[in-house]
């Protein structure tokens, strides 16, 4: 075998080995594509004293998240009382069942809403939906919303779509014990900070998000948010 032929055979062997490694590392299915490194959640004990949630410590955790993800920490977050908020939905499980947020605008007359969502790794919003309402000015449509991941990643849960929760075992394992028995959502998608916008697939449907391995900062764009139209699937949730 001459030198040229030997080189070609060697190159083909390297290519074949590479393809074997690729095939072993990914099965070409949605389930395979969902494989993630372990999601390490925060410790609940750091956020409770005598059984009461410490919202200030929750907010500080989101400040640290912003720094870790190289997101801007605006002075308003630090100095304006109540502007940046943190909740545990009154369930005592902030690590799995909580969120942080900022309401940039919520204009009833012009019908628009802007929200920043902060999620720690493995932390999920309470499953919810939005219904039409009526106030003293008249009827209001149900809130329609879209989300754009700015930093990190999230798992988006929806009742619209094919059931595939088992394809995301890393997220399934972290579902809050208080929420899991009441879930209506069965379809899961992994959303990255890639410039894509993900709209609510159908009005009035159940949905929620969970923070990915690094946590997440998500911008929400929506029509006016009337809290009277908000419904939670998990009983005794407070927001």
The enclosing domain of 49 has a CATH number of 2.60.120.10
pLDDT at 5: 41
Alpha helices in the chain, H assignment, sequence order: 3-25, 30-33, 55-68, 75-79, 169-172
Q: Is residue 153 part of a domain?
A: yes
pLDDT at 38: 80
Q: Is residue 217 part of a domain?
A: yes
Together in a domain, 54 and 169 = yes
Report the alpha-carbon distance of residue 42 to residue 197 in Å, rounded. 28
Q: Is residue 71 part of a domain?
A: yes
pLDDT at 37: 66
- What pTM does this model have? 0.84
Together in a domain, 67 and 15 = no
What domain range is 27 assigned to? 1-33
Instruction: Identify the three-state secondary structure at position 8.
Output: helix
Together in a domain, 53 and 96 = yes
Each of the 239 residues of the chain gets a pLDDT tens digit; together they read: 444 443 444 444 433 333 333 233 333 333 334 455 689 999 999 999 999 999 999 999 999 999 999 999 999 999 999 999 999 999 999 999 999 999 999 999 999 999 999 999 999 999 999 999 999 999 999 999 999 999 999 999 999 999 999 999 999 999 999 999 999 989 999 999 999 999 999 999 999 999 999 999 999 999 999 999 999 999 999 98
Q: Please, are residues 225 and 232 in contact by the beta-carbon 8 Å criterion?
A: no
Q: Is residue 132 part of a domain?
A: yes
Together in a domain, 28 and 129 = no
Together in a domain, 25 and 111 = no
Q: Is residue 143 part of a domain?
A: yes
Together in a domain, 187 and 89 = yes
Q: Is residue 239 part of a domain?
A: no
Task: Please state the domain count of the chain.
Answer: 2
Residue appearing with tokens 């909740």: 87
Q: Please, are residues 151 and 191 in contact by the beta-carbon 8 Å criterion?
A: no
Q: Is residue 237 part of a domain?
A: no
Q: Is residue 191 part of a domain?
A: yes
Together in a domain, 159 and 178 = yes
Q: 198, 190, 185: which is closest to 232 by C-alpha?
A: 185
Residue 6 burial (CB count, 10 A):
10
Together in a domain, 48 and 93 = yes
Together in a domain, 28 and 106 = no
Together in a domain, 152 and 122 = yes
Together in a domain, 3 and 47 = no
Together in a domain, 129 and 48 = yes
pLDDT at 35: 52
């Amino acid at each position: 075998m001459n030198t040229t032929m030997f080189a070609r055979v060697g190159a083909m062997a390297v290519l074949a080995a590479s393809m074997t490694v690729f095939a072993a590392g990914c099965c070409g299915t949605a389930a395979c594509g969902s494989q993630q490194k372990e999601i390490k959640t925060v410790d609940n004990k750091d956020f409770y004293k005598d059984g009461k949630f410490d919202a200030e410590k929750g907010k500080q955790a989101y400040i640290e998240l912003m720094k870790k993800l190289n997101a801007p920490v605006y002075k308003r977050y630090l100095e304006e009382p109540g502007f940046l908020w943190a909740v545990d939905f009154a369930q005592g499980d902030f690590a799995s069942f909580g969120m942080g947020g900022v309401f940039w605008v919520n204009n009833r007359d012009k019908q628009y809403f802007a929200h920043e969502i902060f999620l720690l790794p493995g932390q999920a919003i309470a499953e919810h939906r939005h219904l039409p309402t009526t106030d003293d000015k008249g009827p209001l449509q149900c809130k329609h919303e879209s989300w754009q991941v700015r930093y990190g990643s999230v798992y988006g849960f929806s009742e619209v779509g094919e059931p595939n929760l088992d394809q995301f075992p890393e997220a399934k394992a972290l579902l809050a014990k208080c929420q899991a028995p009441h879930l209506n959502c069965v379809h899961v998608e992994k959303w990255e900070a890639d410039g894509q916008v993900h709209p609510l697939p159908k009005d009035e449907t159940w949905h929620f998000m969970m923070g990915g391995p690094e946590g997440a900062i998500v911008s929400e764009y929506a029509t006016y948010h009337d809290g009277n139209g908000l419904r939670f699937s998990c009983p005794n949730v407070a927001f």
